[in-house]
Amino acid sequence: MDGKVIHNQRSAGIENLDDLPQFPYGRFQNKSYDFGFVISSRGCPYDCFFCSNKINSQRKFRYRSAEKVVEDLTLLFTKFNRKYVYFLDDNLLVNHKRIKDLTEEIKKSGVFGKMHFNFQARGDNCNEEIMLMLFEAGFRGVYFGIETASEKLMQIVNKGETVQEVIDAVGLAKRLGFFVSGNFIFGLPGEKPQDRKDAFKLAKKLKLDIVKYNNATPYPGTELYHIALKENRLYIQGLYENLNSVSSFIEKPFQKTPFSYVPEGNTEKQIKMDIYLGSLKFYFNVRRFTRVFTNPDKNVAWFDFGHSFSDFIKKLPSTFVLLFILSIKFSGFLIQYPFYTAYYKIKDLRK
Ligand code: SF4
């Protein structure tokens, strides 16, 4: 107001999510809207030091009743012909009792057997009983925030679970037939280049279906933000334009977006190169690469060609632009990589 920034009081937060009206899907009739998402809970009781959840929800976990969630799924199926829905809850499996209610409600409903679902979870929240319940109700894809292959870094980021617990959960999910995606964060405080190499090995060992390597991003209010500030390593561009964990991929080829945080003992170049290297290692494989374009139903595809031939034709120009940008990025990487490795080898020998 009058050129001043006014900071409102925090809202108390909605205790009972069932008090909220149903999302007005009917107001968004344009076919280009993607309705393949629901949110059945808000908040997460864990305290991972990079996660913005603490700021948004103050770790207060609340959830909608199973009946309300299934009402949404039924509407999405009957009115909007959605057969695949991604549960965008930050952490679906916080409360196993409510998952039991939800899966039972889905099994009683008319969408059972006709719809499939994907969700995000922590490894330590998974056990055979709950994963089987989910699979039987139609859940088919799970996305794990693996974050790191290093037990030491896992403790530093206050994840509250071990790498081994994530490994066990991924093994269980794969054994039951889930499509498993995993996310790693590169550039955490205390991280060494070898930790990133270990992440590549772990992604391969776990036989993940999709993997993403993101750069650590210090969102204001998180512990990571305070660490970056204290270490004098916080770099904010403009109006927080570079607070982006996937900037390596979405930055314009000739207009770089600097990372907002680079931990001591690393350079931005090293981390970015490792993000490209890890992605190239993983997706330099016809089966894995095609998944990126052919599994929009699992909500993991980077690109959705739509549902019909005319959608496909309409999306061809943007596909070419995307492929062009990716080829510039990766050819730049392939040209620079030998020089980059030689430089660091010489540097290590001189130590
Ligand atoms: S478990 Fe996931 S959602 Fe919860 S605090 Fe950690 S990163 Fe955030």
DSSP-derived secondary structure for 96-152: HHHHHHHHHHHHHSTTTTT-EEEEEE-GGG--HHHHHHHHHHTEEEEEEEEE-S-HH
Q: How confident is the model at residue 303 (pLDDT cuts 50, 70, 90)?
A: low
Average pLDDT over residues 301-317: 73
Block residue for tokens 């496909």: 312
Cβ of 44 less than 6 Å from ligand 1: yes
Distance 227 CA to ligand 1 centre (A): 18
Could you tell me if the CB of 46 is within 6 A of ligand 1?
A: yes
Query: Worst-scoring range by mean pLDDT, 28-42, 109-123, 203-217?
Result: 28-42
- Cα separation, 259 vs 257, in Å, equals 7
Task: Pick from 91, 92, 157 the residue to mutate for probing ligand 1's pocket: most ligand atoms within 8 Å of its CB.
Answer: 91
Given a contact cutoff of 8 angstroms between Cβ atoms, the answer to whether 260 and 236 are in contact is yes
Per-residue confidence band for 320, with pLDDT thresholds at 50, 70 and 90 = confident
DSSP character at residue 243: -
Compute the CA torsion angle 154, 208, 53, 256 (nearest 10 deg).
Answer: 90
Q: For 17, which DSSP code? A: G
Whether residue 96 has pLDDT greater than 90: yes
Residue 324 tokens read as: 């062009």
Q: pLDDT-derived band of residue 57, with 50, 70 and 90 as boundaries?
A: confident
Q: Which has more pLDDT, 178 or 328?
A: 178
Whether 211 is in the pocket of ligand 1, judged by its Cβ within 6 Å, is: no
Nearest-atom index, ligand 1, CA of 91: 3
User: Does the CA dihedral 260-264-268-274 come out positive or negative?
Assistant: negative
Q: pLDDT at position 212, please?
A: 94
Report the DSSP pairing between strands 62-63 and 84-87: unpaired
Please give the distance, rounded to the nearest whole angstrom, from the Cα atom of residue 91 to the centre of ligand 1: 7
- Calculate how far, in angstroms, residue 145's C-alpha sits from the geometric centre of ligand 1: 8
Tens of pLDDT along 209-249? 999 999 999 999 999 999 999 999 999 998 899 999 998 88
Average pLDDT, the chain: 90
More confident residue, 311 or 257: 257
Q: Which of 159-163, 200-204, 242-246, 321-325 is predicted least confidently?
A: 321-325
For ligand 1, the distance from its centroid to the CA atom of residue 72, given in whole angstroms, is 25
Ligand 1 atom with least separation from CA of 50: 7
Distance 254 CA to ligand 1 centre (A): 34
75-84, 256-265, 336-345: the lowest-pLDDT one: 336-345
Structure tokens at 54: 């603490």
Output 70 or 307, whichever has higher pLDDT: 70
The pLDDT of residue 329 is: 82
Distance in Å, CA 240 to ligand 1 centroid = 22
Do residues 191 and 199 make contact, with C-beta atoms less than 8 angstroms apart?
no
Q: What is the pLDDT of residues 286-300, one digit of tens each?
A: 888 777 776 656 555
Residue 35 CB contacts under 8 Å (≥ 6 apart), including other chains: 25, 28, 76, 80, 82
Q: Is the CB of 51 under 6 A from ligand 1?
A: yes
For residue 175, what pLDDT is reported? 97
Which atom of ligand 1 lies at the shortest distance from residue 59's CA? 5
The tokens for 258 are 């600097």
Point out the ligand 1 atom lying closest to the alpha carbon of residue 44: 4
Ligand 1 mutation pick, 41, 42, 44, max ligand atoms within 8 A of CB:
44
* Least trusted range by pLDDT, from 113-127, 176-190, 318-332: 318-332
* 48 CA distance to ligand 1 middle (Å): 6
Which residue's structure tokens are 């969700």? 119
d(CA 99, CA 117): 13
Expressed in angstroms and rounded, the spacing between residue 50 Cα and the centre of ligand 1 is 9
| Residue 248, amino acid | S
Ligand 1 binding pocket includes 145 (Cβ within 6 Å): yes
Give the least confident one: 96-105, 314-323, 340-349: 340-349
Ligand 1 nearest-atom number relative to CA 159: 6
The model's pLDDT over 120-150, given as tens digits with 9 standing for 90+, comes to: 999 999 999 999 999 999 999 999 999 999 9
Distance from first CA to last CA of the chain, Å, rounded? 56
